Structures are given as C-alpha cells and as structure tokens.
Structure 1
Amino acid sequence: MSVETPLDGPRLWIEFPDPEDSGDAPDTVYRCDLTWLTSDWSCIFGNGCPGIYADSVNVGCCSLGAHFTEPADEKRVRAAVKRLTPATWQHHATGRKAAGGWIEVEDGARKTRVVDGGCIFANRQGFAGGAGCALHVLAVAEGVDPLTLKPDVCWQLPLKRGYRTVTRGDGTTYLEVSISEYDRRGWGEGGHDLDWYCTGNPAAHVGTRPVFRSMAAELRELIGDAPYEELARHCEALVARSAGASAHRRLLPLTVHPADRPRV
C-alpha cells in the first residue's frame, strides 16, 4: 500500500461571492480548495480499500457509525430504514429487535449503532444482498441519489464544509463558507490513530474524473446550484490549463494534489 502524503502543503484556493447575492458587499463568500477539488481522488471501497482500522477492513470508513447532524437528518434516514428488508440489510434482525434498534447514544449524541466492528448498515463481504451500505444499495435500487437516504456525514465524506464570520476592514461582516478536503484531522484527535486513510493516499487517487465532477451532486447539496456552477467554472478552467499537449500537468505544484499520480 502506498505511503500517505503529508497533511499540510501548498494549496490553491478560490474565493468568490455568492452568485445570487447582488449587493456590492456580499453577505456570503465561498472559499474552496481547488487543489483538492480538481484532484483524482476516488472512493475505492470494495476495490482495494483496507479500511480505517486494520481489524475491520470490510467496512471501509464505516467502523465508527454515523453521528446525526440534526433531527431532520435522523428523520430522513429513519424513513429509509422502514423500506429495508432482510434481503437488503444484513443486520435487519438486530436493527429491528435490539434495545434502541439501529440507534445508540454516545457521549450524549445520537448515532447509528455499531455491530461487530462496523456500522449496523454496513453489509459485510459475502452477504447475498451485496456488500456495502444497505442505505446506498436501497438508493440504487430505487433509482435515487444515495445522499437522499444516507446520514449527512456519510454522503458528505470526504468533502468538508465549514463556516466562519469574517470582518472586513470597514467593520462589515460576511459569512465564509469553505469547501475543502476532509483529511484525518476532520475525525478529531482520533483521526491521527486511524490505521489508513484515503484522501492523502495515492492508492485512492485513481479516479477518472476530478472530485468536483465525481461529487457534483454532493457539492450542489452542500452549497447550492448557482454557487456550484461558479465553482465548477473555475475548476474546469484549471483542469483545461493543466492538460498540455502531452497530457502532462505543467502548473505549479500547489495546483496538483500531492497524492495524485503523474499523468502519462
């Protein structure tokens, strides 16, 4: 398995005002990591992913269960769970009969239950209904985007959205919405103890489409359609400039994610 790249290094960021804000001083400004969004990262679950813990390789990054971001998040998932069956959900019986069902409380926060070293919705290898998230499998079967059924933290990973209030020199303020890479530190202090993690590892930078394209649906959900279109315009321009006649990238290193493999 390839060696993970350092967490910190040069990055190229873009800032732009909310396209739907017509004022001279916008109330919202988006700050996005172009180095990450134009990278070749791709989820390799089921295709060589060793999992975040060596003793639970079959569940990828689903070892800890998913914390709900708000009541509406849990409500959406609960509605989807009602449509799961023993044929599509390996731990259906446990989720239906265990005390508390498929939810547990950890440090006062509600989250999906962990069963045998992984999220209760993580079907293991060999399950007849298919390995992977049962909610994801359900979404595919129903012909809807998985983000409409899965917990927020699951479909957002490894995108990281942040908010902060910025004060201008004249005393006015605006909301900064940032979109960046959810690296090890996004997991908190325990992130440094993960046995493996994907975003900075060349093993996962094997995608055929840059992140801003492969995760377009997630980005649209996170920031909205108009901001996404503006973001995509900048990303497309960067990708176009980096595609030389010989297909090699010719920009400064900060425009290329350190985990991306050289293009030949």
Structure 2
Amino acid sequence: MSRTPPTREVPLDFPREWIEFLDPADEQHLVRADLTWLLSRWTCVFGSACRGILPGRAEDGCCSHGAFFTDADDENRVKAAAAKLTPQTWQHHRRGFKNYTEVDTVDGTKPARRTATRSADGPCVFLNEADFAGGGGCALHAQALRDGVHPLAYKPDVCWQLPVRREQDWITRPDGTKLLQSTLTEFDRRGWGPGGHDLAWWCTSSSEAHVGTEPMYLTYAPELTALIGTAAYEKLATICAARIKSGLIAVHPATAEAAAPQRRGGREPASPPFPGGSGGHSRTASR
C-alpha cells in the first residue's frame, strides 16, 4: 500500500484545557477530563489515511501487536465474542482461548495474557487482511457490527478504549475526604511507555487523523459512558457543549493544523474547526 510521506506530528506537550466535576450519581467519584482532547477533531482513519504503527505496514493500523487483557472480565468478553466467529468471518480462525492468546509480559517481569500474533513479527491474530473475502480489519469488530452491537462489547479493553486514556486513582483531599478520580485524556505516544516514542506513526498527534465532523466527546459517547458511567458522561457532554458555545477552548494543535490548509486556500472548513472531533473509530470500518 503506497502512501505519500506522512505529515509531521505535533509536539506531545502543548496547552490543554481541563475540567473537574463530581459524578452526579456518585459523590465519591471525581471526573477530570481533558477538554482539548475530547473537543478535538480526531477520528479513526483505519483503512484510509492510517499510516500504521510499523513502517511499511499501514494495513495493520494499530493492530501490529497483540492486545494485553486488563482482567478476567476482559478475557471472558473476548472469549465469548470469538466463539461467534467462523472461518468465513475470521481469516486466521482458531478454536480454543489458549490457541488465540499467549502469555507475554508488559513490564518485562510479570506474566500477562494477550491476543496472539500470527507469527513472531506478525499482527494480531484477529486482524483479517484487506482482501479477505469475509472483510478486512478486526474480526471481532466486524462481528459486533453484524450482530448489531457496539464493538466495545466484543473487543479487548485496550482496543475499544484507544485513543482515550483513562487513569483511576484514589485521592485524599486536604480535609481527609477520599475520592476515586477518573482522568480522561489523550492516549498519546507516551501512553505506550518508552517504546511509544519508537512507533513509526501515531494518529493522535497527526493532523491526518484530525479530520472529523463532530466533537470527539459525541463520536466516542458509548466508550466514554462505559468508562465513567451514564450520569457522569451526560454531565461531561453538557460541559463540552457549553464550552463549544463559548468558543473559549485550548485547541488541539493537530486539529488546528488540519484546518489550516483550507484557510490558507481562502476556504473555510466544511464545519467549524474549533473545537470538534469526529469519528471515534469507525462504526463501519473494522479496525
């Protein structure tokens, strides 16, 4: 798959706008949200403008490695979804959980299970090739669409959460009050650890992926709801809408860069560039 050289990525550090609020359904749950990211125009461009994380393998997207499971619930969800797949819908069909997963390590010491790869240097076993008769892309994602459910119901946690990063910590305020703080932000290169800086390309920092038509908080509503709960998401959406109306936003530089060529050519973008975000991962493309 030949592509023109990718556009440069914006720096990892730039001004961001944050908001904090208590979950209306739980006074011990504090949500801290990165509005610059959630109001960006990022959208998944798998199968179109995606460069892939490894050189020369754009067709893999971000599926060039197996996905580590977060817990037993994550494993069981994928196990149930994989049981729905057939050789006609999964190019690299395998039966049995242990045959399509393997034990590896995230930190170099503690064993952890992840989805297997097709070979030592191959992509995730669930990734169908683009010309596969049953459809290219993630077999789990495609099965969810066929079943009329959101892909987050079938895919590993890390796959459906990307590129949103949620961190949760119990914090203690000066008066001794303890709260569970959920932080929502961009899963940038640093989210992968030291190796993230070695990726050939990463979409969140590239203007090529900031081409959506709706704010990301809208296109990622199901994922955000799953991460922080319904009441908290509704509060977040209200805040985001108010910030859009005010126009007072620390804009993501990749979103600004994506809009710049149209402005330089004397044309306004099809929809306002600030703030906004689109797409989330495609509801039709099987990333």
Q: Distance in 1 between matches of 2:41 and 2:64?
A: 25
Looking at structure 1, the residues matched to 66 and 58 of structure 2 have their Cα atoms a distance apart, in angstroms, of: 15
Tell me the equivalent position of 2:161: 156
Superposition deviation, residue 197 in structure 1: 0.2
Structure 1 length as normaliser, TM-score? 0.90
Deviation at 1:169, TM superposition (A): 1.8
Please give the alpha-carbon distance, in whole angstroms, between the structure 2 residues aligned to 1:170 and 1:76. Answer: 40
Aligned to 2:254: 259
What's the offset of the Cα at 1:177?
Answer: 0.8
Q: 1:216 aligns with which of 208, 215, 221?
A: 221
Alignment of 1:102-121 (within 5 A): 102-107=100-105, 108-116=111-119, 117-121=122-126
2:182 to 165, 169, 177: 177
Amino acid at match of 2:251: V
Task: Report 1:116-127 matches (<5 A).
Answer: 116=119, 117-127=122-132
Q: Aligned with 1:54: secondary structure?
A: coil
Alignment correspondent of 1:39: 40
Residues 162, 179 of structure 1: 8 Å contact kept: yes
| Alignment counterpart, residue 144 of structure 1, candidates 145, 149, 153 | 149
- Partner secondary structure for residue 115 of structure 1: coil
Preserved CA contact (<8 Å) 1:56 1:118? no
Give the letter aligned to residue 73 of structure 1: D
Q: How does 1:1-264 map to 2 (within 5 A)?
A: 1-21=6-26, 26-92=27-93, 95-96=94-95, 100-107=98-105, 108-116=111-119, 117-242=122-247, 251=248, 255-260=250-255, 261-262=258-259, 264=268
Q: Partner of 1:246 in structure 2?
A: none
Q: How far did residue 27 of structure 1 move?
A: 1.6
Distance in 2 between the 1:118 and 1:69 partners? 20
* Structure 2: distance between partners of 1:170 and 1:197: 41
Structure 1 residue 100: deviation in Å? 3.4
Q: Which amino acid aligns with 1:103?
A: T
